[in-house]
Structure 1
Amino acid sequence: MKAFLLQFFTWWNRQTLGTRFYTWRFGKEVGRDEFGNVYYEGGLNSDGMTRRWVIYSGYSEASSIPPGWHGWIHHRDDTPPPDENYKPREWQKPHQPNLTGSPAAYRPLGSLLGSRHRPQVTGDYDAWTPGS
């Protein structure tokens, strides 16, 4: 019952009722990734291309889609990763989750939350003044 209510009242938790109905009606499962996300295709989008979508295993977080699936879902590749003909490109890195808000997040030099200090100003900058 709780899962039904979550789908009815939230869009960020797996799927909504509308997505569930559309998936049931038109969706054909293409595959699953190592995080439990399920990928579908079916019907046509406004450009006349096959519609592709993902049902997340937990919260709807776009950064949880691995590189191979990202290319497929955005129509960059026609071959989904579970297909035997799929070959990842040499520049594709292993998936990393979005680290924003975590202790491992990027913090530039001089950030209040960073541990490194910003370099001293060298004096090679002239500030702009109006009318000059």
Structure 2
Amino acid sequence: MKAFLLQFFTWWNGQTLNTRWHTWRHGKEVGRDEFGNIYYEGGVNSDGLTRRWVIYNGQSEASAIPPGWHGWMHYRVNTPPSAETYKPREWQKPHQPNLTGSPAAYRPKGSLLGNRHRPQVTGDYDAWTPGS
């Protein structure tokens, strides 16, 4: 019952009821990735291309799509990684979740939220005042 309510009232916990219905009617499973996400295609989008979508394993997090699947999802390649022996390049980094809004988020030097001291004012800046 809880899973049904989550699908009915939230979009960030896996698939919604509408996505489940569309997948049941039009979706053809193309493959799965190492995170348990399932990729589908079927139907036609507004550009006349075959529609592609992913059903996330757990919380919907766009950054959780591996590079090979990202290329397929965005029509950069026509062959999904499941239909070839895709190997990530050595320069491709492993997945990291989006840390925005979390304590581990990037805080640049001088940020009010950073844990470092702000740099001392040097006096080389003159604030603008109206009429000057």
Give the match for residue 14 of structure 1.
Answer: 14
Identity of aligned residues (%): 85
Q: CA RMSD in A?
A: 2.0
Give the match for residue 25 of structure 1.
Answer: 25
Residues 91-121 of structure 1: CA distance to partner in whole angstroms, max 9, x if unpaired? 4322111112333211122334322122222
Q: How does 1:1-132 map to 2 (within 5 A)?
A: 1-89=1-89, 91-132=91-132
How many pairs are equivalent? 132
TM-score (norm 2): 0.84
Distance 1:88 1:76 in 2: 15
Distance 1:61 1:92 in 2: 19
Structure 1 stretches of 4+ moved >4 Å: none
Gaps of at least 5 residues in structure 1 are none
User: Is 45-54 or 1-10 further displaced after alignment?
Assistant: 1-10
Gaps of at least 5 residues in structure 2 are none
